[in-house]
Amino acid sequence: MKAAAIIVAAGRGERAGGPLPKQYAPIGGKPALRWSIEAFAAHPAFEAIVLVIDPAHEAHFRAAAAGLDCQIVPGGAVRSASVQAGLEALRSSAPDLVFIHDAARPGLDANMLDALIRALGSHHGAAPALRVADALKRADGQFVHEDVSRDGLVRVQTPQAFRYAAIREAFQALTPEAQVDDDVAVARAAGYAIALVPGAASLAKITYPEDFALVERLISPATLIPLVGHGIDAHQFTEGDFVTLCGVRIAHSQALLGHSDADAGWHALTDAILGAIGEGDIGDHFPPTDPKWRGADSEQFLRHALHLMEQAGGRLAHCDITIVCERPRVKPHREAMRSRTAEVTGLALARVNVKATTTEEMGFTGRREGILATATATVLVPG
């Protein structure tokens, strides 16, 4: 799959104050824009990087992107015209995938690019999204006029990723009077479904002067510290014909007994993530006494822990899960368990490990009474 990036940097960036437009202002020791160019340039899937800039900023751009290989295209009067100019610039190279990114979001990393590339394997478009934690109100600046439910609302970030042919066609079909805030809206107007992947606090956008310090703390490697969490979980066998481990259904002559789906692998991982961020254990967040969690898919426990981690400004860097049992044989399912875990956590496959072992017929796992799982998770947090 050939991928290309369009980084939209044509805005005036005046709300952020300062002598330079925000996309060229320094953050974490280099121009904001340079962080994103480097992230795309370092990823093996990206063959072309197009920067859409205001021609009046060309000198700033040359300084910010010195030594990096990218093509520049003049921006249009509105953002959608700038994106369209970027898409047209890629016409002759015809990439399979195109990632459209705001220059004012410097916290882009390879994990996010991998997660979006994976999502485009089965969807025409994909974007990172974060849940809304604050209460929402409609207001006139002085008084609240309406309470707005945050049910079902998400905050969508960039890069927004698409199959190139689909988004190009969607932009061509766009009427001048259409109101579109982002590229997801353009794709949706053309009838494409857009998948969401977990967003990242570090992808925050620089809009106002105070955002520089906040985003700098989130992205600058010097201020990130690794926290390692550990989790253990066990479930006993009961009657049944399959077990669920790391989201994968494995046929077996018994099932695992538990209030939820008894996925010991993901329960251990959920506890490891909660452990890294000091958030107690899975039982604190999902009490086994609550009938709501009967038969629950453990994916939601894992996603909840990831959400708490993101709210704390954390980013999962790695996880390692070990399944301990005599039967079923785990090894043939290890890769499926690994890729399901990568999919839910947003980690690159290389950052997820799943191991299996036995206890040589000793102890409760050796007597085939149940399955034990352990996990470690490394979470990077602002220091």
CA dist., res. 335 & res. 260, Å (int)? 23
301 counts as binding Mg ion under rule CB under 5 A: no
Report how many residues bind Mg ion under the rule CB under 5 A: 2
**Closest distance between Mg ion and the C-beta of residue 365, in Å?**
15
**Closest distance between Mg ion and the C-beta of residue 293, in Å?**
11
Q: Is 250 helix (H, G, I), strand (E, B) or coil?
A: strand
267 counts as binding Mg ion under rule CB under 5 A: yes
**Closest distance between Mg ion and the C-beta of residue 302, in Å?**
12
**Segment 144-183, which members bind Mg ion (CB under 5 A)?**
none
Residue from 54, 109, 216, 233 that binds Mg ion (CB under 5 A)?
233
**In terms of Cα–Cα distance, which of 127, 126, 101 is closest to 32?**
101
- Find the part of the chain contacting Mg ion (CB under 5 A) among 126-134, 231-239, 301-309, 338-346: 231-239
Residue 199 or 229 with smaller CB distance to Mg ion: 229
Q: Are 30 and 22 in contact (CB under 8 A)?
A: no
CA dist., res. 108 & res. 284, Å (int)? 32
Residue 43 or 267 with smaller CB distance to Mg ion: 267
**Segment 107-146, which members bind Mg ion (CB under 5 A)?**
none
Residue 39 or 356 with smaller CB distance to Mg ion: 356
**Closest distance between Mg ion and the C-beta of residue 330, in Å?**
17
Alpha-carbon torsion angle 250, 253, 256, 257, nearest 10: 150
Q: Can you say whether residue 233 is alpha, beta or left, with left for phi > 0 and alpha for psi between -120 and 50 degrees?
A: beta
Q: How many CB atoms lie within 10 A of CB 298?
A: 27
Q: Are 316 and 273 in contact (CB under 8 A)?
A: yes
102 counts as binding Mg ion under rule CB under 5 A: no
Residue 57 or 267 with smaller CB distance to Mg ion: 267
SS3 percent helix, strand, coil of the chain, rounded to 5, is 35, 30, 35
- Using CB atoms, what's the residue nearest to Mg ion? 267
Interface ranges with Mg ion (CB under 5 A): 233, 267
